[in-house]
């Protein structure tokens, strides 16, 4: 019980060291484990005062209820937008048609049975036209000079297109170029119509000139959706680009999406006319993943929420990383299921020199079946509506922040008391009301608070779990409950349409991962949960074990910072492990949780109860905080559907606890001699 001391007369003089060890343990428990050493407190009328735990959990539940409308709306939008469009490039259809010896229309009919709903239509450059992508002749005016029967004053380096008068694409080409370029000259000759453009062939080699009209006609003929890819063109400003898109949409209604091509967005920097035209036409933009085009962010902001997240596998990546067919299928399905991708662009395998059609159709069918098994439908998707956080979610987030911050402050400054006064409760509620209004009205306040609220929430969840080492199952449930409750409130407030479309990225990811270990270390040193204070550690010579611990912590912090949101720094063994878990489990838990965080928490429970390595127990407490930081961070992936995030957190919790028991079993039954040797070395 709190305040008790062991009577020294109960032990013989030779047991002084044992008495001191027991006394030190009781002192630390009295100072820091208030959750288990509570005294019943009563008011002046003899009534029992509710514990701070009850107030904390009650306010957390109220915060979740305040966020209920936003959670319901977000889940409803996620569930109603589960249509996925699979697309192929028209040029790939032509290639497969030539190789298989089948008409392109017949091949596309087979693709449609496998879930394909769209055809990608390129805007052809000078190089494309020279390669014969259309039934026309392209070159400099000097190339066509022998065909002219009259003198002309135009420079011979001008780019020109010769189209036979019987070609049905002649009229669309002329009309489009008159809108697209400032001036063109049309000359009638015996071979057809010669269209002279106001630019040299060298200038237009990589510049968009005309759309692939054969692809547009194909999409109209087979009754499918066309995804138009405008390419930057020399001398073409934003107004002309917008006018050309408007004209194309009027002539080819099958155009249902625009996907800018090239290193810069067509019409840049004058993107306002393009965005305005797209919104007038209700024509969405394909939001390709991992694309760093100049001007693309401005275009996305101008047309939001008319965006359709899109994923494709780059041919160079396929070859360099040597993806198998199974890995490609898993990657496509994972992009849809975990990152809310709604357009999947699938390409034939360049690894195959012949026989591309059969595996291409087979794998598209597997992707469709995998998506259908996850309650998705193939078709043509529609953009999500625009929405922002409500006042209820703002108040809920403010309440979560203040109650977790106040709880940590009580621990750090005064020790964890079991009672909470009415004045404290009133102050927290009033503060939440004021802060909630600021979050609702001031976007900068919401952005600044993001990293702080996630970090302090993860810290409190970890401390609630760690403080209950005498009842480990209660601690595990408490930490999980706080993580889920606070995470749902964060997902409700920050999970707006802009966040779901990655237009307003969450700015506190690294703070969420790095601050909880620091806060827990500061708390443990201040409250002497670690046997020594910071001053004691500084004043005495360092130990080898401590140097190893410091190096391990610094290395872990650097690794977490570098690899956060950066898959290129993930080692190959972990990628293979992730792929294995993806195949074995419905949803893969995060590696930091089930391999590091929760096993450290389980080991910490046992180490506290058995008195193992007291001087080095802190590393397990810090390691345990990583699990809760990672779990809270999962709720900040707003492009992932919310039920999937909850399932990922739960799977990480379950698998991590199981992994912790496996480690304990190995230590208990197989690592006894090693454990004793390490303990002797460290102590």
CA distance 208 to 229: 10
DSSP secondary-structure letter at 51? B
116-126 pLDDT tens trace = 999 999 999 99
- Rg of the chain, C-alpha, whole Å: 32
Average pLDDT over residues 475-496: 94
Beta bridge partners of 647: none
User: Distance of CA 385 to CAs 82, 307, 382, Å?
Assistant: 14, 10, 9
What does the DSSP assignment read for 185-196? EEEEETTEEEEE
Which among 145, 169, 146, 171 has a CA at the least distance from the CA of 158?
145
In this predicted structure, what is the pLDDT of residue 329?
87
CA distance 37 to 418: 9
Average pLDDT over residues 187-211: 91
235-266 pLDDT tens trace = 888 999 999 999 999 999 999 999 999 889 99
In this predicted structure, what is the pLDDT of residue 368?
93
Beta bridge partners of 195: 161, 186
User: Distance of CA 269 to CAs 150, 278, 344, 598, Å?
Assistant: 41, 16, 28, 50
Beta bridge partners of 308: 286
The 3 state secondary structure assigned to 598-627 is HHHHHHHHHHHHHCCCHHHCHHHHHHHHHH
Is residue 97's pLDDT more than 50? yes
In this predicted structure, what is the pLDDT of residue 470?
86
What does the DSSP assignment read for 657-673? HHHHHHHHHHHHHT-HH
Provide the 10 A C-beta neighbour count for residue 8.
Answer: 12
Backbone region of residue 321 per phi and psi (left: phi > 0; alpha: psi in -120 to 50; beta: other values):
alpha
**Terminal alpha carbon distance of the chain:** 30
Is residue 390's pLDDT more than 90? yes
Q: What is the pTM of this model?
A: 0.82
Average pLDDT over residues 544-550: 59
* Residue ranges of E strands in 353-507: 377-378
The tokens 């006394």 sit on which residue? 23
Helices (H) and strands (E) in the chain, counts: 29, 13
CA distance 568 to 555: 18
Which among 649, 279, 652, 300 has a CA at the least distance from the CA of 500?
300
**Three-class SS of residue 236?**
coil
**How does 368-379 read in b/e, with b if 16+ C-beta sit within 10 Å?**
bebbeeeebebe
Q: Does 182 or 285 have the greater pLDDT score?
A: 285
CA distance 444 to 438: 9
- List of residues 6+ apart from 578 with CB closer than 8 A: 588, 591
CA distance 671 to 468: 26
Question: What is the pLDDT confidence band of residue 129, given thresholds at 50, 70 and 90?
Answer: very high
23 with 6: CB under 8 angstroms?
A: yes
- Sheet strands side by side (includes 158-163): 137-140, 158-163, 192-200, 185-189
**Three-class SS of residue 160?**
strand
In this predicted structure, what is the pLDDT of residue 591?
81
- List of residues 6+ apart from 222 with CB closer than 8 A: 105, 108, 109
Rounded to the nearest integer, the mean pLDDT of the chain is 83
| CA pseudo-torsion sign 565, 569, 571, 576 | positive
CA distance 306 to 43: 59
Which among 216, 227, 74 has a CA at the least distance from the CA of 645?
74
404-455 pLDDT tens trace = 999 999 888 876 556 777 888 899 999 999 999 999 999 888 888 988 999 9
* Residue ranges of E strands in 155-232: 158-163, 185-189, 192-200, 208-211, 225-229
136 with 172: CB under 8 angstroms?
A: no
Is residue 579's pLDDT more than 80? no
CA distance 552 to 319: 36
**Percentage of the chain lying above the pLDDT 70 cut:** 80
The pair of three-digit structure tokens given for residue 492, joined into one six-digit string? 């409700």
CA distance 293 to 229: 13
Using N-to-C axis directions, what is the helix angle for 598-610 and 472-494, rounded to 10°?
Answer: 150
> Does CATH place domain 82-378 in 3.20.20?
yes
Domain range summary for the chain, segments of one domain joined by +: 33-76+387-682, 82-378
Beta bridge partners of 118: 87, 225
């Amino acid at each position: 019980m709190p305040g008790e001391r062991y009577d020294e007369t109960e032990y013989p003089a030779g047991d002084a060291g044992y008495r001191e060890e027991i006394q030190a343990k009781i002192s630390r428990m009295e100072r820091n484990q208030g959750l288990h050493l509570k005294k019943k407190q009563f008011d002046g009328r003899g009534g029992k005062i509710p514990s701070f735990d009850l107030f904390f959990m009650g306010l957390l539940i109220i915060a979740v209820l305040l966020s209920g409308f936003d959670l319901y709306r977000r889940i409803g939008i996620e569930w109603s937008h589960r249509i996925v469009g699979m697309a192929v490039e028209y040029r790939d259809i032509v290639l497969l048609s030539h190789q298989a010896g089948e008409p392109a229309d017949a091949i596309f009919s087979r693709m449609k049975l496998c879930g394909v709903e769209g055809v990608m239509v390129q805007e052809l450059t000078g190089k494309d036209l020279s390669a014969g992508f259309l039934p026309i002749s392209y070159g400099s005016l000097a190339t066509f000079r022998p065909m002219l029967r009259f003198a002309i004053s135009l420079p011979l380096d001008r780019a020109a297109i010769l189209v036979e008068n019987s070609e049905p694409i002649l009229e669309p080409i002329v009309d489009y170029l008159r809108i697209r370029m400032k001036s063109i000259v049309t000359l009638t000759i015996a071979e057809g119509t010669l269209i002279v453009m106001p630019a040299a062939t060298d200038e237009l080699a990589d510049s968009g000139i005309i759309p692939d009209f054969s692809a547009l006609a194909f999409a109209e003929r087979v009754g499918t959706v066309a995804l138009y890819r405008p390419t930057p063109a020399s001398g073409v400003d934003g107004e002309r680009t917008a006018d050309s898109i408007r004209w194309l949409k009027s002539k080819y209604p099958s155009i249902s999406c625009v996907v800018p091509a090239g290193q810069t967005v067509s019409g840049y920097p004058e993107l306002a006319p393009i965005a305005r035209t797209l919104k007038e036409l209700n024509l969405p933009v394909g939001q390709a993943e991992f694309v760093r085009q100049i001007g693309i962010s401005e275009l996305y902001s101008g047309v939001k929420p008319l965006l359709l997240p899109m994923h494709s596998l780059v041919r160079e990546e396929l070859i360099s990383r040597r993806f198998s067919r199974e890995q490609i299928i898993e990657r496509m399905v994972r992009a849809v299921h975990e990152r809310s991708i709604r357009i999947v662009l699938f390409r034939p395998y360049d690894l195959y020199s012949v026989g591309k059609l059969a595996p291409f159709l087979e794998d598209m069918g597997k992707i469709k079946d995998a998506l259908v098994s996850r309650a998705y439908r193939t078709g043509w998707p529609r953009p999500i509506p625009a929405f922002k956080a409500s006042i209820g979610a703002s108040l809920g987030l403010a309440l979560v922040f203040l109650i977790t911050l106040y709880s940590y402050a009580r621990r750090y400054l005064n020790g964890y008391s079991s009672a909470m006064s009415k004045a404290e409760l009133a102050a927290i509620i009033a503060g939440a009301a004021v802060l909630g209004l600021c979050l609702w009205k001031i976007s900068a306040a919401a952005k600044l608070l993001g990293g702080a609220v996630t970090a302090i929430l993860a810290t409190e969840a970890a401390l609630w779990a760690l403080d209950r080492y005498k009842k480990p199952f209660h601690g595990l449930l408490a930490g999980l409950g706080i993580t889920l409750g606070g995470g749902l409130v964060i997902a409700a407030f920050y999970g707006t349409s802009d966040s779901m479309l990655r237009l307003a990225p969450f700015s506190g990811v690294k703070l969420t991962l790095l601050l909880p270990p620091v806060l827990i270390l500061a708390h443990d040193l201040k409250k002497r949960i670690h046997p020594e204070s910071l001053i004691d550690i500084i004043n005495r010579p360092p130990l080898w074990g401590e140097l190893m611990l410091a190096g391990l912590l610094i290395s872990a912090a650097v690794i977490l910072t570098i690899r956060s949101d950066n898959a290129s720094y993930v080692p190959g063994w972990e990628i293979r492990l992730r792929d294995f878990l993806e195949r074995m489990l419905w949803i893969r838990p995060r590696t930091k949780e089930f391999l590091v965080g929760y096993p450290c928490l389980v080991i910490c429970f046992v180490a506290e109860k058995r008195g193992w390595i007291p001087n080095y127990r802190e590393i397990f407490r810090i390691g345990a905080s990583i699990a809760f930081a990672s779990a809270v961070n999962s709720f900040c992936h707003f492009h992932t559907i919310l039920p999937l995030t909850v399932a990922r957190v739960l799977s990480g919790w379950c698998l991590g606890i199981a992994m912790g028991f496996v480690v304990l079993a190995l230590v208990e039954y197989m690592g006894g001699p090693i454990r004793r040797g390490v303990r002797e070395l460290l102590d």
